[in-house]
A and B are shown apart, each in its own frame.
Chain A
Amino acid sequence: MEIVRSHRQLAAAAAAAAAGGAGALPTYRAAPQLEVRLEEFELFAIDRLRVLKGISDGLSRGKRPEEMEKLVCELWKTHMRHQDPAETLNKDIISHFVLRLVYCRTEELRKWFLSMETTLFRYRFRLESPESQRMLMTEFQLPYKALPHSEFEVVKDKLSQVARSIGQSANVESVFFKVPFEEVPDLVASRRVFLSKGYAYVAMSQVVSLVVTQFRCNISKALVLTNRKWTATIKEQEKDRLTPIVEALSNAYFGPDYSQPKDAVEISLKDIDQLAKSSFPLCMRHMLDKLRENHHLKHGGRMQFGLFLKGAGLKLEDALAFWRAEFSQKVGSERFDKEYAYSIRHNYGKEGKRTDYTPYSCQKIISATPGVGDHHGCPYRHFGDENLRAALNKMGVGGHALEEIMDKVKNRHYQLACTLTFEATHGVSCDSGINHPNQYFSESQKVLRAKVGAVIYYTLTVFLVLCSYYLAELIFQFNMWGFNAQNQTVESQSTT
């Protein structure tokens, strides 16, 4: 891709051919030979990022496929669509390749980009006509032929049973592909296909899974290659032109990093219960309660809760003391030191491959699959109705607010439900919404500090008014003194 500041000569058709893709949906197989203006380089990328970010939000709300389809369609229309289809295609391709540069640079960035691009592609593919879907299959060189009629007759009943089991009509579609089950992991995982002797019978309407597997695989490989190229040559070559844009782009839209506690806040061991009551989100309060009760948490819980505490500012030594105090009551401190301490140090990057692990985001927590005896996950998603109500009551949420929260839960807006809980317990609005348990914690602390400040301000004001009433002659001096005193108090409060 050429990037120029001056005129551009667009050749959308050529671009389409180069990037692969028969019609409106490109497969991004190779970077197109076309010129792009520097402003567009950035603007297009930002527009695409808005789409991907929207998808990411949708996924973390646990939207159903139909809702996602609608969401993707709308996002695309708002941010990417141009009157001229050739322009749209152009923007599509350019923005994709720019973001590849942006998101190729770390494992975490690659993972996010790959998963969002794949989701985008999946839902765009579903909107394509059957003919163009067939053409895309050819494009991906999928070697599958439709199941011959004789074979189809043999398994027809089973195919119909699968269709009904996922709520479709019993009239079986007539075009099926018999593929190795490895090619359609998502369909296997959700039992949406009939399996026999290692083959999955994929209906024409499910072909998207096959194509998406291929798409994902291509992009994944390409990202690794792009990263190599980027570090080897592009970064240096473009250090005055593209590099700053690329680096700014990846920061601009990636939420704050909670792997290091913010503002050098530290929490200490003795405050944990108090803080849990005032500032922990429900998921973390619940795990603390269970830990205190059972003196044990299973692996998933230790990870989710342990990393949260780390993000909130609990130092390694305190973390070890905290977990030891509980676990030793159940397994003995010797066994704690032998078997559990390692993984806590591991979380802090002191063992194994020494990665400093990041606290889990809401998205990750919501998508967890807690099993027997597990307490991690998102209460709004994983609790039963009654248990959730009881837990919220315990937090002091009731009445209208509670019903509103339950309503969000019913519509699977788990993060909104958590946001409403925050608002109900803190008495302030939280416009940014809750995306991360550590964000919940720090927002809560902010609010509480401000409240403490406000109380002091209020008391001082009353005091001053009284003073001024009785000691009219000293009003002026008192005002001066009071003003300073207020500031000092507030400051000293916030530093303690």
Chain B
Amino acid sequence: MGRDDEPVDSMEIDGQQQLKVEGPAAVPDGFNADYLRVYYGKLFPYGDFFQWLCYANDGKHPGCDQSYVGRREFSFTLENDIYLRFQSFDSAAELESSIKEKCPFKIDIGPVYSVDPAKRHAYAQSGNNVFVPVERELIFDIDISDYDDVRYCCSGADVCKECWPLMTIAIKILDTSLRDDFGFNHILWVYSGRRGVHCWVCDTRARKLRNEQRAAVADYFRVYKGGENALKKVSLAGPVLHPFLARSYTDVLESFFEDKLLLSQKLFASEERCQKILDLIPDENVASELHDKWQGNSRSSISKEDVNAARWKQLKTTLQLGKHKAQGLRRCVEEIVFLYTYPRLDMEVSKHMNHLLKAPFCIHPKTGRVCVPIDPNNCDDFDPTAVPTLSQLLGELNAAGFQTDSENNWERTSLEKSIRFFRTSFLQPLLKACKEELESAYNAKLQQSKNSLNW
């Protein structure tokens, strides 16, 4: 079900004509089927994309599962909002020709099923539920629109430089924990094209998790609780924090809150905003004490210190030092920081194998931006407003001059950086590990059959 709340803009520009009329470099902004056709024709990295989803099962090795990639579901959303589910492809060439032919506005990736999803009806006849998902990357979906109650710069699907860092720290926290706590190595972060990020954990172990185990990982990350009517959406019980939360707090959240968010979102700049934070303090006396203090100084003192920083400091000292060290208040400072900064996951996406997720390198129809990978080690530098757009890429192609069907047209566009990153930092290490696993599983099997023969 769609989550964007405005209807799709009608296509205002006839791209084909514009393309011919305009000079080589400038291509008008926008998103339409004609632009998209050029993108799918010249730029989409089919080879790398397909290789990823084969997980080394496309080689000559006798341990390969040749049916593997063909059991993966792809889903296309066409221009007129027609959904084509349960598409499957045995080779990169098949995938490529289908995408070029259908020109999907959106490509989703589903799980690997027990049988070829395109032929699921044939198997359904035999009963016994043979058509079931058997493998799927562990995925996470984080949307900036879920942070609307704690950001004042934008709301809904809008994103700017002031609130995007919320996504950046979500990446940092999850990435660190997925690697250090859960031991995963092959993690792909992707810009969702408009208002969030997607995460694909691709280790074999992650792909084989059962739903219950996926839910457990998602719950491990869940701090934000309660629907719209819960009073306290973040509640940290216990005298100390779990090592994961403690590390997230000291390494990332605390400094991010104090050095960036506090000032960029002006969290204490108005009566209303202050009240919102004061409401999180369970002791009414303390809250009203602070309230009175701030009422007084908002007009009179024109101190050099920023009002947000000053008030936060006051709140912290009041809660942490002196007479208020009661049980309930001890956690309160941390709770406020967690509420305003800690990642908010769309839990349902992660919990079930059969959830679809938009493929990397798609173009977002509303923004025209490419869903490019994000390097978690340099995620601070990622700027969603600088992500290449469809029209920009076409302009670059034009500028470079159409060379007769060169393999790697993308090398001459700003997509190059993204595809190189995908290839060298994600795909190559992943395939290396997959091949090693394949090899050792195969050897173990050989050994086993040899042993049983001897016996």
What residues make up the interface of A, taking CB atoms closer than 8 Å to B? Answer: 158, 161-162, 164-167, 181-182, 185-186, 188-191, 194-199, 286, 299, 330-332, 334-335, 338-340, 343, 369-377, 379, 382-388
B227–A370 CB distance below 8 A: yes
Instruction: Collect the chain A residues with CB atoms within 8 Å of residue B453's CB.
Output: none
Cα separation A108 to B278 with both chains bound (whole Å): 46
B182–A198 CB distance below 8 A: yes
Is the C-beta of B159 less than 8 angstroms from some C-beta in chain A?
no
Of B18-26, B45-53, B218-226, B406-414, the stretch lying at the interface with chain A is B218-226
Instruction: Collect the chain A residues with CB atoms within 8 Å of residue B205's CB.
Output: 182, 198
Cα separation A383 to B243 with both chains bound (whole Å): 29
Contact partner of B183 among A164, A197, A331, A383, CB < 8 A? A197
B228–A375 CB distance below 8 A: yes
Q: A189-B216, A191-B220, A199-B183 are in contact. Are A370 and B243 (CB under 8 A)?
A: no
B230–A185 CB distance below 8 A: no
B240–A165 CB distance below 8 A: yes
Residue of B5, B183, B228, B348 ringed by the most chain A CB atoms within 10 A:
B228
A374–B212 CB distance below 8 A: no
Instruction: Collect the chain B residues with CB atoms within 8 Å of residue A162's CB.
Output: 242-243
Instruction: Give 8 CB contacts A-B under 8 Å.
Output: A162-B243, A164-B238, A182-B210, A185-B216, A197-B183, A335-B7, A374-B228, A384-B231
Contact partner of A191 among B2, B224, B228, B244, CB < 8 A? B244
Cα separation A165 to B239 with both chains bound (whole Å): 6
**What 0/1 pattern do residues 140 to 163 of B give for CB contact below 8 A with A?**
000000101100000000000000
A195–B244 CB distance below 8 A: yes
Q: A199-B183, A338-B81, A375-B228 are in contact. Are A186 and B344 (CB under 8 A)?
A: no
B215–A167 CB distance below 8 A: no
Closest residue of B by beta carbon distance from A339 = B2
Shortest distance between the CB of B79 and any CB in chain A (Å):
13
A161–B219 CB distance below 8 A: no
A165–B7 CB distance below 8 A: no
User: 7 smallest A-B Cβ distances: which pairs?
Assistant: A198-B183, A384-B231, A370-B227, A185-B216, A189-B219, A195-B181, A197-B183
Shortest distance between the CB of B65 and any CB in chain A (Å):
22
Shortest distance between the CB of A353 and any CB in chain B (Å):
9
Contact partner of B1 among A330, A339, A379, CB < 8 A? A339
A369–B244 CB distance below 8 A: no
Instruction: Collect the chain A residues with CB atoms within 8 Å of residue B238's CB.
Output: 164-167
Q: A161-B246, A167-B239 are in contact. Are A197 and B180 (CB under 8 A)?
A: yes
Q: In the complex, how many residue pairs between chain A and chain B have their CB atoms under 8 Å apart? A: 125
Known contacts A164-B239, A166-B238, A335-B7; can you find 18 more A-B pairs with CB under 8 A?
Answer: A158-B243, A161-B246, A162-B242, A165-B240, A165-B242, A182-B209, A185-B216, A188-B219, A194-B243, A198-B205, A331-B5, A331-B7, A335-B2, A371-B146, A372-B224, A372-B228, A375-B228, A379-B229
Is the C-beta of B442 less than 8 angstroms from some C-beta in chain A?
no
A387–B231 CB distance below 8 A: yes
Is the C-beta of B400 less than 8 angstroms from some C-beta in chain A?
no
B216–A371 CB distance below 8 A: no
Contact partner of A185 among B5, B212, B228, CB < 8 A? B212
A299–B183 CB distance below 8 A: no
A195–B347 CB distance below 8 A: no
B220–A386 CB distance below 8 A: no
Cα separation A372 to B241 with both chains bound (whole Å): 23
A299–B348 CB distance below 8 A: yes
Closest residue of A by beta carbon distance from B209 = A182
B215–A371 CB distance below 8 A: no
Closest residue of B by beta carbon distance from A184 = B216
